[in-house]
């Protein structure tokens, strides 16, 4: 396991901030051992929390053109038939995965193909499990076309804590199932919009592993 590239700057800022706080405590209260001990423990805990958030585990994707792979770690909070209004304008099966701050926040391509549509939407920062977060929060919309012509839409959605979406694809990008396509910082959600003919292989409250768990069969 390594540290993701998106964490470099955040970890540096965290270390510098904690160093300043602890340095100030030694300067203004040099004899307060209780305060120094508390700050050292609190600093270590905070640093470890931030460090684990940016962890990059090794994942082995079972590449299969008939499978839709989980785009992220987390908890399945939505499985329902909805009308997708941005790209397809028809009925689709929505599967949503909520990521808590404790989850790995790397985003993985759910299928191989070519990105046929990409759009970034600025927006609000409602809690990620809010029903309107899918259409009102800051988000990206990505559609990948499989070699058989099937298209799958998925969205990165920022939550109340997540204030930065990172993505590594654009329209025309050729992607591979299980390959990273993005990262979301500090709590978020990903929505998948699948054809009505897809066979859903997860249930509500399941906890898929990004890049490995099979969400559906096409």
**Catalytic residues, which ones?**
188
Which residues are 145's β-sheet partners? Answer: 114, 151
Phi-psi category of residue 66: left, alpha or beta, with phi > 0 → left and psi -120 to 50 → alpha: alpha
Residue 160's SS3 state is coil
Q: Return the ∠ at Cα 90 (arms to 89 and 94), rounded to 5°.
A: 105
Sheet holding 180-184, edge to edge: 106-108, 180-184, 165-167
Residue 113's SS3 state is strand
Residues 6 or more apart whose CB falls under 8 angstroms from that of 127 comprise: 133, 159, 160
Helices H / strands E in the chain, number of each: 3, 15
Nearest to 144 by CA among 104, 187, 188, 108: 108
Q: Return the ∠ at Cα 67 (arms to 61 and 72), rounded to 5°.
A: 55
How far out from the chain centre does Cα 62 lie?
A: 20
């Amino acid at each position: 396991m390594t540290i993701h590239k998106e964490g470099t700057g955040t970890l540096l800022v965290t270390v510098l901030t904690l160093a300043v706080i602890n340095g100030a405590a030694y300067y203004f209260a040099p004899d307060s051992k209780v305060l120094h001990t508390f700050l050292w423990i609190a600093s270590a805990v905070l640093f470890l929390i931030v460090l684990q958030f940016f962890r990059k585990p090794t994942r082995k994707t079972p590449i299969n053109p008939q499978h839709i792979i989980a785009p992220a770690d987390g908890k399945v909070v939505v499985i329902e038939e909805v009308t997708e209004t941005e790209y397809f304008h028809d009925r689709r099966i929505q599967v949503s995965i909520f990521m808590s701050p404790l989850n790995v926040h790397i985003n993985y391509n759910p299928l191989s193909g070519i990105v046929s549509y990409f759009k970034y939407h600025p927006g609000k920062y409602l809690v990620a499990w809010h029903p309107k977060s899918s259409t009102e929060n800051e988000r990206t919309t990505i559609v990948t076309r499989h070699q058989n012509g099937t298209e799958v839409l998925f969205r990165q959605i920022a939550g109340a804590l997540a204030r930065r979406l990172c993505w590594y694809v654009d329209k025309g990008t050729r992607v591979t199932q299980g390959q990273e396509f993005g990262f979301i910082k500090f709590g978020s959600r990903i929505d998948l919009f699948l054809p009505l003919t897809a066979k859903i292989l997860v249930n509500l409250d399941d906890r898929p592993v990004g890049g490995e768990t099979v969400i559906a069969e096409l």
